[in-house]
Structure 1
Amino acid sequence: MVAFVRPALPSQLSAVARPVSLCRRIHSSPFRLAVVYPVTAHGPPPKAPEFKETSKLSDAELPASEGGASRYNLTAALKKRFWKDVHVHGKSDEYQVLLDKRPVRTPAKEVLTIPSTKPHLAHAIALEWDVMPSAQSALKSHLIPMTSLAARATDIAREDAEGKNTTRKQIITTAMRYLDTDTLLCWEPERQMHALERTTADGKPIETLRQIQTRIAGNIMSFLSTKVWPGLEIIPILDTNSILPLSQPKGTKDSICTWVSELSAYDLAGLERAILASKSLLIAVRLVVEWSENFRHVQRPETKKFGIEEAAEASSLEVTWQTNMWGEVEDTHDVGKEDLKRQLGSVVILVSGETR
């Protein structure tokens, strides 16, 4: 029987002939054994510390330092409601909301005063404080939307009386930034020639998202270009072949900037809230003009008002389109809808009044 031996490969020969001293070592430090020390503690292990709530500490257990005692007293006071009754105190030219006998104040420590033409605003603020369970709730702005919004308007009015315009400039800058990316002017690109159309069960074509956007935007822009800014040119900011927004003409920007700067304190505060809620300057202007007591001359009593539902619909067209196709996410889309309406509703109450 003949045995065949396979010749070794060159790589195998080089590995065999390699000197041992050239082999790479992963660990070059010398080996050391661990030193085990004996346990020197005697007796059972110590007990774990017990947790005690600060609000349940007795007077004897309070911290000795003055700072610790003041922090404890402040926390305990915020968890209580220091007032029993809330009522609106009306004067000849203003309203005040009183907590027992204490007036509600702004974050700047100024007394919150409401113009005499806005009784609904004063009673809405009183209702917020009447249902408040504790003073700590007043630190959360989402629980006091009307109070925070009225305080914002009061601060603007105070700056106007002092000859300052810091807050006005900030609001104008924010408003003009939203004009460059206005939600109302961002439309879906036009469909291609061979794109499939959605139809109903009866075979009727369903209105596309772009058709809905152009219809809603056309109604709002036609009102603004005839009643608010006559002859002003407003163009869509998204082109079909570009993802970068287009800028409005310089004359349009200058006219809108001048118009915003001349608003009253309450209208300006309401416009700011509506812009931040709807992500649209045009929708905010449409809502403020429709309900403000200072724009009675352009309002149309014989037609249906542009209200909370219409403003919420115009500012969330794409979201509504997507949720109609794929469904809503529970505790997300539904909560967002109600929060949007809550913020827009606060704007309506703020700017409306009894001026005829």
Structure 2
Amino acid sequence: MSDWAAKRFWTDTTVVPEGDGFAVHLDGRPVRTPAKAPLIVPTQAFADLIAAEWDGQDGKIDPETMPATRSANVAIDRIGSVHAEVVTMIADYGDSDLLCYRAVFPEALIERQDAVWNPLLVWAETEFGARLETRAGVMHVPQSPAALARLHAVVDAMTAFELAAFHDLVSLSGSLVIGLAATRNARPVEALWDASRLDETFQIEQWGEDEDAAVEAAIKRESFLRAHEFYHAVQN
């Protein structure tokens, strides 16, 4: 297997206004997506994040250190052409939202879920008029079509760039409600991540922490926090 990788070939990284958005230039040449489309993002704040990633490359270019660039590539190359399908995929999380499936024992876990998750469900009902019902156990029970339609409409109103970040907020947390709360800053983002990990945290308290699982959880947490940053950076 070849270990070839592209190397840094530029000196100056700049953000340049381009139409209704902003582009990143390397020695005056615009960055393009993998599909060769112009990499133009809606805000200078997001362009600055992308520029910082390119400017931080030293020697070989490492895409793993460029999450903002990857998010922009996804929005431009992929989501733009399948917006409706992506909206449906993400909105469908509402029908099996993490916050709705509750433990039947022990009582301490039930009480903690009620204390942390119930206020988020109340927030979603107040904010969007979407009442999601809780279920005991893990067997799927469909939610109200009217509630799901309201949540779907909220997701459908997002831009491709917002959807790229929002997808990660929802998929990493397992909760459409938590993802939406992150987009509205309804709670501190760290508290929202902790809410998504409530069951895992409870088990760690009872039985201790697995080292490999802890490393994976830390990676997911960092990705969730970045997705929150990206979502708000692309808003005009």
Band the TM-score falls in, shorter-chain normalisation: 0.7 to 0.9
Structure 1, unpaired ranges of 5+: 1-52, 56-74, 160-165, 192-196, 198-207, 291-304
The alpha-carbon deviation at position 134 of structure 1 amounts to: 4.3
Question: Separation in 2 of the partners of 1:283 and 1:107?
Answer: 31
Question: Separation in 2 of the partners of 1:260 and 1:312?
Answer: 20
The residue that corresponds to 1:163 in the other structure is: none
Conservation of the 8 A alpha-carbon contact between 2:101 and 2:136: no
Distance of aligned partners of 1:226 and 1:156 in 2 relative to their CA distance in 1, 3 Å threshold: farther
The residue that corresponds to 1:234 in the other structure is: 132
Task: State the secondary structure of the residue aligned to 1:324.
Answer: helix
Identical pairs, percent:
26
Conservation of the 8 A alpha-carbon contact between 2:16 and 2:22: yes
The alpha-carbon deviation at position 281 of structure 1 amounts to: 1.1
Conservation of the 8 A alpha-carbon contact between 2:169 and 2:227: yes
Task: State the secondary structure of the residue aligned to 1:314.
Answer: helix
Q: What does 1:19-38 correspond to in 2, within 5 Å?
A: none
The alpha-carbon deviation at position 54 of structure 1 amounts to: 8.0
| Residues 58-84 of structure 1: CA deviation (Å, up to 9, x unaligned) | xxxxxxxxxxxxxxxxx3xx2522223
The alpha-carbon deviation at position 188 of structure 1 amounts to: 0.8
The residue that corresponds to 1:114 in the other structure is: 41
Q: What does 1:294-333 correspond to in 2, within 5 Å?
A: 306-333=187-214
Q: Going by fraction, where is helix more abundant, 1 or 2?
A: 2
TM-score, normalised by the number of residues in structure 1: 0.59
Q: What does 1:220-259 correspond to in 2, within 5 Å?
A: 220-227=120-127, 229-230=128-129, 232-236=130-134, 238-239=135-136, 243-259=138-154
Structure 1 residue aligned with 2:173, among 278, 295, 298? 278
Conservation of the 8 A alpha-carbon contact between 1:84 and 1:99: yes
Distance of aligned partners of 1:312 and 1:355 in 2 relative to their CA distance in 1, 3 Å threshold: closer
The residue that corresponds to 1:217 in the other structure is: 117
Structure 2, unpaired ranges of 5+: none
Structure 2 residue aligned with 1:288, among 168, 171, 183? 183
The residue that corresponds to 2:89 in the other structure is: 174
Conservation of the 8 A alpha-carbon contact between 1:178 and 1:281: yes
Which one has the largest radius of gyration? 1
Task: State the secondary structure of the residue aligned to 1:332.
Answer: helix
The residue that corresponds to 2:49 in the other structure is: 124
Conservation of the 8 A alpha-carbon contact between 1:288 and 1:347: no
The alpha-carbon deviation at position 169 of structure 1 amounts to: 2.5
The alpha-carbon deviation at position 309 of structure 1 amounts to: 0.6
Paired amino acid for 2:200: V
Conservation of the 8 A alpha-carbon contact between 2:49 and 2:68: yes
Q: Are positions 1:269 and 2:164 aligned together?
A: yes
Task: State the secondary structure of the residue aligned to 1:87.
Answer: strand
TM-score, normalised by the number of residues in structure 2: 0.86
Question: Separation in 2 of the partners of 1:190 and 1:307?
Answer: 28
Structure 2 residue aligned with 1:99, among 16, 22, 26? 26
The alpha-carbon deviation at position 255 of structure 1 amounts to: 2.0
The residue that corresponds to 1:7 in the other structure is: none
Conservation of the 8 A alpha-carbon contact between 2:99 and 2:117: yes
Question: Separation in 2 of the partners of 1:313 and 1:88?
Answer: 35
Question: Separation in 2 of the partners of 1:342 and 1:223?
Answer: 25
Task: Provide the alpha-carbon RMSD of the alignment.
Answer: 2.7
Conservation of the 8 A alpha-carbon contact between 1:213 and 1:317: yes
Paired amino acid for 1:315: S
Flag the structure with more relative contact order, 1 or 2, with Cα contacts below 8 A and sequence separation at least 6. 2
Question: Separation in 2 of the partners of 1:329 and 1:171?
Answer: 34
Q: Are positions 1:84 and 2:6 aligned together?
A: no
Distance of aligned partners of 1:119 and 1:309 in 2 relative to their CA distance in 1, 3 Å threshold: same
Stretches of 4+ aligned residues off by more than 4 angstroms: 353-356
Q: Are positions 1:186 and 2:101 aligned together?
A: yes
Question: Separation in 2 of the partners of 1:313 and 1:143?
Answer: 25
Distance of aligned partners of 1:102 and 1:338 in 2 relative to their CA distance in 1, 3 Å threshold: farther
| Residues 191-245 of structure 1: CA deviation (Å, up to 9, x unaligned) | 5xxxxx7xxxxxxxxxx11111122212211222112x12x22101x335xx421
Task: State the secondary structure of the residue aligned to 2:136.
Answer: coil
Distance of aligned partners of 1:337 and 1:120 in 2 relative to their CA distance in 1, 3 Å threshold: farther
Structure 2 residue aligned with 1:150, among 61, 69, 72? 72
The alpha-carbon deviation at position 248 of structure 1 amounts to: 0.2
Paired amino acid for 2:176: L
